[in-house]
Every structure is written in structure tokens, then in C-alpha cells.
Amino acid sequence: MDWDALQWQYEPHRDGFYFCRPKMSQTIDHIALSIDQELACLPPTPLNPCIFKVFRELRIENEKAYEPKIIAIGPFHHGKDNLQEMEEHKMRYLQLLLHRRNEKSVNKYVMALSDMEERTRTCYAESSGLNKVEFVKMVLLDGIFVIELFRKWNARSSYTNDPIVQSSRMLGVICGDLLLLENQLPFFILVHLFNMTRDSDTQEDISHLALSLLDNILPGPAVSHVSNIPEDEVKHLLHLIHGSMCYSFAKKVESCGEVTRFEVDKFELINTITDLQEAGIAFKVDEGSNNLFDIKFNNGLMEIPRLLIGDDTESILRNLIAYEQFLPDETHRRYVTDYALLMDCLVNSPKDASFLRCCRIITNGLGDGIVVCNTLNKLVNSVTLSTKFSYFQVFNNLNKHCKSPYNKWMANLRHNYFNSPWALISFLAAVVLLLLTVAQTIFSALSYF
């Protein structure tokens, strides 16, 4: 506010002093003018954004899980000092593409992306602050790098001199960065650049190329198919992976036709693995399942697909969960969030984690059971559950089994008498002593009569 431009008025006070204050009408005018100027500079709100910044409540649980380690894709992390090394690789990939296609200039790509600039910007929930030149250049370099990486991986025998494709460590870190919620390009950009650079004699498909690379770091069974989401409805790479991982399980859940609405007053969590074992429930790895989330419980047997816990597992699951937090609650199930809640219930101690490892349900590449336990127990902190819970029937059947009088009696017996070898030996000794006493009594009675 320009205070020098205001007109001042003097007001007497009962002690003989005067107060100096600006005229109220001018003060109001300047406040209104200041707000009007801020409103004029405010960027428009995107109507249907699909790329978001992770909620603060989720981020503070593990900030590193949402931050790129080596490469920035899109505007949210663009320009960060620790990610500058990959900018040269992006430029080199663009140069190699032009050489391969015998093109001298990037003019046609820049023109195409300039025409889609406004549509691209609306995909981001927050303004980037980049001008048109910076934004289009960023989209071009990031988009070409991603699609060329997919191509090089699928024809890696022909790229023996590529430092990225030939380094499994570097490639794994990049793949992890490509699955961060904040590190995305709109999928239509990738499709458009892919089609513009496709060789006329090839039948390449960007979705299959992407899955063949990113599938290597996913924590569950291999994703052997693309989801049924039409290509023009895929929002970004993380959405593609989410749809592919959840596809078969989603079909199964929706086909059941059961009432699975989440109601707090009727919802009851399940016990830990230790408690479920005492109730007579057995666990088995489901080798034949092609979906990480397809967990079944029948006749006292719980079958769980194998979960691979590696360097990127927590980050991948966290970003999939963060993506689900932005889905409309009434129309979308949150399959990954529901899975994380189920695993959090089952694993409550290193003993539980070690048991799952012995059953080959968990393949642990991080160390002891404490690390696995901590990883699974923090995934659902600060998340919101959907009103449609995917494992409602599994929870319900498990709790019914544990509340059965016979199973409760057996659980109490196991807990009090079979919880250690010495307790079991003592119990068996008592049983044998009882049987001998009964037998002696019977023989004594028979000899008397």
C-alpha cells in the first residue's frame, strides 16, 4: 500500500493530543485495489487435474518416498540442483532420435507441443511458474526421454553402448522415479510423441513397452496385460500401472455383487498372524495367482500372493496409495490402500513378518523382520479409506472363524499349553499320567471283582 499517497486527518483526544490517521474511504479503496490486483494475477483453477502434489500428511510419513532420486519428469521437480545430471542425457536422447530419423530440427515437435500447451498445463493441480518457452522445452525433453527409454529397453541388445540401459542399478532408480505421483507427464503427450516418432513398419504400442520395463520393479506377480482402460483415458504412467495391477482383482471384486460398503460402526479389523494361528488358521503362498491383491480365505486357510519387498517397494505402494487418495470416493475403490490396511493388520511384529517370510509369502530383500514390519505398519498412516472396502468379506469370514466357540477354545488351549516346547511336554506328561491313573483304577476294580 502506498501510504504517502493517502490523505491524513487529525482527530482530537480528551487529553489535548491529536491522533493522525488516514481517511477511511481512501484506506478501503487501497485495500480493494490491492486485492483486485492479486485476483488478476491468480492463475485459473484447473478443471480436471490428474497430476497432484502429495498431501502434506502423507509426505511427512516418509518424504523420500515421494521425491525423485535422479530424474525430474514434469514441472513439479524441474530445475532442482540434485537432478541436473540427467538433463544432459535427455538432450542426448533427443539428438539420437533426430539422427535415427534423419531429421535436422525439432521444429515439428515444438509446434505440436505448443498447440497442446494449455491442455497440458491443466493436467497439473498447481501452477508451475514456467513460461511458454521453458514449459514446452521441458515437455519435449522429458517426453522424448521416456519413450526412447522404453524403446531402448525393449531392443536393448542393439544399444550396448547406452550407459542407462546397460546399468541395471541406474535403470532401476529411473524406473522408480517414473512411478512417483509428482513426477508425471500427461499420457496423451507420451502417446502423441510416440506416434510422431514411430517407424512405419513397426507395430509398437507404448502401453506394452512401458509395462515391459516398469514391471521389473513392481512388488507383486508380473503384469502380463494392459488394463481395459482405453489409451486415450490413461492419465499418466502411474495410472497405467495402477490400472494394470488392479485389473483382474477389480473384476473379481465387482463380480461378487456383495455389500462391501465401509461402515465404521459395523467394521471390525482382523487379528494379527500370531493370533490367527492360535485360532487354527493356516497360511499359504498363492503361487498360481497373477494379482498381488487377490487374497482368499476358505475353510481355515488363508492364501496370499507373494509380495516382494525391495528398495522401491515402499515408494511404489505409497505413491499408488497417494494417487488413490485423489480418486472420487463414491465411484472408485482404493484397492492398494485396502491391501495395505490388510497387511498392516496381519503384521504387527517382526515375528509375524518372519513367519510370512518362512511361508514364502514375503520375499524380503531389505534385511530382518523389523524392517518389513515397520514398512507395512506405516503405509496406511494418515490415509482415508474408501466407503467401498475390497476385503470386507475376507475380514468378516476371518472374524467369524475366530469367534466360533470351538475355535476360541482351541486358541486358548494353544496359547496356554502349546505356546512352547516345554509347555507341550508338560501337557503331554499330564495326559499320560492321567491315562495311567485311569488304567490303574480300572485294573484294580477288575481284580477286586
Are 174 and 86 within one domain?
A: yes
Q: What's the rounded Cα separation, in Å, for the pair 105 and 95?
A: 10
Enter the DSSP assignment of 53: P
Residue at 152 is within a domain: yes
Q: Output the pLDDT for position 8.
A: 53
* Interatomic CA distance for residues 99 and 152, integer angstroms: 15
Q: Contacts by 204-212 with C-beta closer than 8 Å and gap 24+? A: 204/151, 206/147, 206/150, 206/231, 207/231, 207/234, 207/240, 209/147, 209/150, 209/151, 209/153, 209/154, 210/150, 210/237, 210/240, 211/240, 211/241, 211/244, 212/150, 212/153, 212/154
- C-alpha cell of 208? 506394452
Residue at 51 is within a domain: no
**Bridge partners, 439 (sequence order):** none
Give the count of beta carbons closer than 10 Å to the beta carbon of residue 254.
13
**Amino acid 53: pLDDT:** 96
Q: For residues 7 and 66, state if they share a domain.
A: no
Q: 118 lies in which domain range?
A: 56-217
Closest listed residue to residue 379, CA positions, set 305, 302, 325, 303: 325
Q: Which three cell numbers stand for residue 295?
A: 487374497
CA pair distance 324, 346, nearest whole angstrom = 22
pLDDT confidence of residue 138: 98
| Residues 115-138: tens digit of each pLDDT | 999 999 999 999 888 999 999 999
The length of the chain in residues reads: 449
CA distance 357 to 340: 17
Distance CA 316, CA 218 (A): 8
In the chain, % of residues over pLDDT 90: 56
Amino acid identity at 391? Y
In a domain, 226, yes or no: no
Residue type, 322: A
**Amino acid 46: pLDDT:** 55
Do 337 and 425 sit in the same domain of this protein? no
Q: What is the pTM of this model?
A: 0.83
pLDDT at 330: 73
205 and 62 co-located in one domain:
yes
All residue ranges of the chain with pLDDT < 70 are: 1-26, 42-47, 224-228, 257-266, 405-425, 427, 449
- 23 and 105 part of one domain: no
Whether residues 288 and 317 share a domain: the answer is: yes
Query: 241 in a domain, yes or no?
Result: no
Domains in the chain: how many in total? 4
Give whole-number Cα distances, 54 to 79, 195, 214, 239, in Å: 19, 31, 21, 15
